[in-house]
Amino acid sequence: MQVNSIKFFVDTADVAAIRELNDLGMVDGVTTNPSLILKSGRNILEVTREICDIVSGPVSAEVVATDAKEMIAEGMKLAKIAKNIAIKVPLTWAGLTACKAFASEGHMVNVTLCFSAAQAILAAKAGATFISPFIGRLDDNNFDGTDLIEDIRIVYDNYDTRTQILAASIRSVNHIVDCAKIGADVVTAPPAVIKAMANHILTDKGLEVFLADWAKTGQKIL
């Protein structure tokens, strides 16, 4: 029986890292952005298509135009890559206009660069599938990023809003745990942060003791 849990999207365009986590059942989707495409060193259409072949969940591919009409044209091209594409648009008025157009056509939309509950309300009104509040960047500017997640959760729950809260700009394991406590629907994090969730100094110390004691028995299992 499957237990409900917070969904993990992996924030990378590194195909090998995505495949490793996907094989372990740790990936419910993928988010990319222009910076991650640059880091991959690959063509956006090519690498996004490969990611969509690996992952069955939503794969966010971001438009780079700033004009609504051009955003819509870019987004429609990205949507043709695969059925699980979520078109990613910035939280600007042009982005909201594009979001409405994509949602009206039945496409998933991830509205990114959200830094206020007011912006999140607009994204939901425009039909966003996901709203991406940036926790780490708020923390960098002396705000508590998780406070924004909580504010959006309260507002969305007041109206049974279908837009999912996708906590982004995750920098640490604590960010993920805090988002899970608050009730974020999804967190998107770099592969290294997701893998770091398994680490604990007491686990390492306990394993060291067990292995030392086992060696003293002189036994083997295989």
- The catalytic residue positions are 88
| Residue 63, CA distances (Å) to 91, 111, 137 in order | 12, 11, 21
Contacts of 21 (CB under 8 A, 6+ apart): 8, 10, 27, 191, 194, 195
Q: Please, what's the b/e burial string for 107-126 (b: 16 or more CB within 10 A of its CB; e: otherwise)?
A: bbbbbbbbbebebbbbbbeb
| Residue 211, CA distances (Å) to 204, 214, 216, 218, 219 in order | 11, 5, 9, 11, 11
Amino acid at 114: C
Helical (H) or strand (E) element with 151: helix 145-158
Closest to 91 (Cα-Cα) out of 70, 75, 69, 110: 110
